[in-house]
Amino acid sequence: MESFSIDEVFLDMTGTSLIYPDPIQTAHEIKDKIKNELGFTVNVGISTNKLLAKMASDFEKPDKVHTLFPNEIPVKMWPLPVRDLLFLGKASEKKLTEAGMYTIGDMAHARETEIQVLLGKKAGHQLYRYACGIDDSPVKAQPEEAKGFSVETTFNDDIVSVDQVLPILLEQCDVVATRMRRKGKKCISVSVTFRTLDFKNKSHQTTLPNATDTTDEIYKKAKKLFTESWKGEPLRLIGVALTNLTDESFEQLSLFEDNEKKERKRKLDATMDAIRQKFGNDKITRASIMNSNSGIARKARAQMKNEDEKPE
């Protein structure tokens, strides 16, 4: 069994056919037992891979069992709008519909290179495979060790000033640092990515003298990276990534830093993490973000509201 989100799991039934010969009957038994014993309803999707099972589970609700086997893709999946394809966001939907691809079937019947030109080589390859119903990822009981933490936000409106960027950048640093602290990690490298109107990504990275997990320190590095590398051209995407992770707790104190102030900031992060863990990610945020008058920053906060609940 693999956790997919806060309220979804994948269950691999391989090798259990002698005990559970009918997967549809088994799905109904699981669904009904949850309802009778726990008092709430669930949908169950059944297929031969995780993608199709997930797509099936999102069909008509509530309290249903749906199948989406490979032979059912043309009838059940391809007529759906492209927005219903797993992991396909609003920005990608807009690009596809503007290119005349309105359904998942339109994507599946296009050339993969067409999708890659619109969505990028890596994302285009993955989403084209998904549109064809292809997913080779195994069900993993234990998640893989994260190699890094990152977040990106795409915008429909041009970002043209530093005042627009900085609240977004701070929110992103807060999101990825929170996720990293929950895993008990610290980072040695911080990178900032931004995309210009010609769809070219530019990425800049710096290495820290000591591993850190404090939001403020990460934000200062990200802010410096951005302000030194951005030439003022309109932007449509901003992202932050934390890499070169370590769980080393040792930290060399500097004679030139206010170590007491640093400790206060670490305690602030811990307090905010505890509140978010108990009451939800949207229950507390930093005043400098809340005070931002940027409509784009507010959209960014809305997009990232549940970012740290997504699978790594």
Q: Output the DSSP codes for 65-124.
A: EEE--GGGHHHHTTTSBGGGSTT--HHHHHHHHHTT--BHHHHHTS-HHHHHHHH-HHHH
Q: Please indicate, yes or no, whether residues 164 and 302 belong to a single structural domain of this protein.
A: yes
Q: Which of 211, 169, 174 is nearest to 192 (CA)?
A: 169
Let me know if residue 52 belongs to a domain.
Answer: yes
Given a cut of 50, is residue 187 above it in pLDDT?
A: yes
Q: Which residues contact 53 (CB under 8 A, 6 or more apart)?
A: 10, 45, 46, 47, 68
Q: Provide the token pair at 56.
A: 């099936």
Positions annotated as catalytic residues are 8
pLDDT the model gives residue 223: 95
Q: Please indicate, yes or no, whether residues 111 and 20 belong to a single structural domain of this protein.
A: yes
Q: Please indicate, yes or no, whether residues 215 and 264 belong to a single structural domain of this protein.
A: yes
pLDDT the model gives residue 218: 95
Question: With bands split at pLDDT 50, 70 and 90, how would you rate the model's confidence at 293?
Answer: very low
Please report, rounded to a whole number, the percentage of residues in the chain having pLDDT higher than 90. 58
Let me know if residue 136 belongs to a domain.
Answer: no
pLDDT, one tens digit per residue, over 71-111 is: 999 999 999 999 999 999 888 999 999 999 999 999 999 99
**Contact between residue 306 and residue 281 where contact means Cβ atoms under 8 Å apart:** yes
Give 246 or 132, the one with higher predicted confidence. Answer: 132
Q: Please indicate, yes or no, whether residues 160 and 297 belong to a single structural domain of this protein.
A: yes
Question: With bands split at pLDDT 50, 70 and 90, how would you rate the model's confidence at 132?
Answer: very high
Q: Please indicate, yes or no, whether residues 107 and 211 belong to a single structural domain of this protein.
A: no
Q: Please indicate, yes or no, whether residues 223 and 290 belong to a single structural domain of this protein.
A: yes
Q: Please indicate, yes or no, whether residues 163 and 285 belong to a single structural domain of this protein.
A: yes
pLDDT the model gives residue 281: 59
CATH code where residue 101 lies: 1.10.150.20
Q: Please indicate, yes or no, whether residues 20 and 93 belong to a single structural domain of this protein.
A: yes
pLDDT the model gives residue 280: 64
pLDDT the model gives residue 66: 98
Given a cut of 80, is residue 268 above it in pLDDT?
A: no
Q: Please indicate, yes or no, whether residues 176 and 297 belong to a single structural domain of this protein.
A: yes
Let me know if residue 141 belongs to a domain.
Answer: no
Q: Please indicate, yes or no, whether residues 170 and 289 belong to a single structural domain of this protein.
A: yes
**Contact between residue 53 and residue 9 where contact means Cβ atoms under 8 Å apart:** no
Q: Please indicate, yes or no, whether residues 188 and 254 belong to a single structural domain of this protein.
A: yes
Region label for 15, one of left (φ > 0), alpha (ψ between -120 and 50) or beta (otherwise): left
Q: Provide the token pair at 170.
A: 């701070």
Q: Please indicate, yes or no, whether residues 6 and 88 belong to a single structural domain of this protein.
A: yes
pLDDT the model gives residue 62: 95
pLDDT the model gives residue 88: 92
Given a cut of 90, is residue 301 above it in pLDDT?
A: no
pLDDT the model gives residue 310: 40
Q: Which of 51, 111, 105, 112 is nearest to 76 (CA)?
A: 105
Range of the domain at 11: 2-131
Given a cut of 90, is residue 243 above it in pLDDT?
A: yes
pTM: 0.57
Q: Are strands 186-196 and 201-212 parallel, antiparallel or unpaired?
A: antiparallel
